[in-house]
């Protein structure tokens, strides 16, 4: 619906300067409400929701249904206690080979290197393994590996198929096993 310019011009003349100033002030007030106040109202509502969630969480901690949060220094100590000890690295590697044999995946001899991070006082055991098996076997192996060994980080996985008709994939698996130095 298009309003002709002549009608707008007549209405503006009929209103006069006071009417035009009033109409422009109304438009400015609507623009301020739409662009300035509504986003602020949204922020206030989000803060009120976060506050309500915080009050609910505090009530659950006070009633004992939720454990009290740990201090940041204690969180790091608790994390270190969940990691396997540096002396248990061979047990962890044996577990990797056991999971691979369960999925009938061939793991050839790999490369292993131990690094120690002086800042975190953690040992990093980097493992590079050549893998050979079908895609579903390798996928199940990786899922089981990450589920059973939470201290293990999958850094890189490279898979390739020599010919398109082959079902077996060959690849390299690079992982890091984090160990505590006790």
pLDDT tens digits along 121-145: 788 889 898 888 888 888 898 899 9
Could you read off the pLDDT of 43-76 as tens digits, one per residue?
A: 889 999 999 999 998 888 888 887 777 677 677 7
With a pLDDT cut of 70, the percent of the chain lying above it is: 97
Q: From 3.40.50.1000, 3.30.565.10, 3.30.70.60, 3.90.79.10, which CATH number describes the 77-180 domain?
A: 3.30.70.60
Question: Are residues 117 and 132 in contact, defined by beta-carbon separation less than 8 angstroms?
Answer: no
Lowest mean pLDDT among 30-39, 68-77, 123-132, 156-165: 68-77
pLDDT score, position 46: 93
* Domain ranges across the chain: 1-69, 77-180
- Spell out a b/e string for 14-24, using b for 16 or more CB atoms within 10 Å of the CB, else e: eeeeeeeeeee
Measured CA distances, 70 to 74, 100, 121, 122, 142 (Å)? 6, 37, 20, 21, 32
Q: What is the dihedral of CA 99, 104, 105, 106, to 10 degrees?
A: 110
Q: pLDDT at residue 182 above 70?
A: no
Q: pLDDT at residue 26 above 70?
A: yes
Instruction: Give the DSSP letter string of 97-147.
Output: HHHHHHTT-EE---EEEEEEETTTTEEEEEEEEEEEEEHHHHHHHHHHHHH
CA distance 63 to 58: 9
Structure tokens at 34: 């739409």
Contacts of 173 (CB under 8 A, 6+ apart): 127, 128, 129, 130, 131, 142, 154, 156, 157, 158
């Amino acid at each position: 619906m298009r309003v002709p310019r002549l009608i707008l011009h007549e209405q503006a003349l009929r209103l006069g300067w006071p009417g035009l100033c009033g109409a422009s002030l109304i438009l400015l007030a609507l623009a301020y409400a739409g662009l300035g106040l509504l986003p602020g109202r949204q922020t206030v509502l989000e803060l009120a929701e976060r506050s309500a969630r915080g009050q609910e969480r505090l009530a659950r901690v006070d009633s004992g249904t939720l454990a009290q949060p740990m201090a940041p220094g204690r969180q790091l100590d608790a994390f270190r206690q969940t990691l396997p000890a540096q002396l248990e690295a061979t047990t962890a590697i044996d577990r990797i080979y056991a999971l691979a044999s369960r999925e009938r995946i061939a793991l050839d001899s790999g490369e292993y290197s131990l690094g120690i991070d002086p800042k975190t006082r953690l040992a990093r055991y980097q493992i590079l393994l050549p893998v050979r098996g079908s895609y579903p076997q390798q996928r199940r192996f990786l899922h089981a590996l990450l589920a059973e060994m939470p201290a293990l980080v999958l850094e890189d996985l490279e898979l390739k198929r020599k010919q398109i008709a082959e079902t077996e994939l060959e690849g390299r698996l690079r992982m890091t096993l984090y160990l505590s130095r006790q």
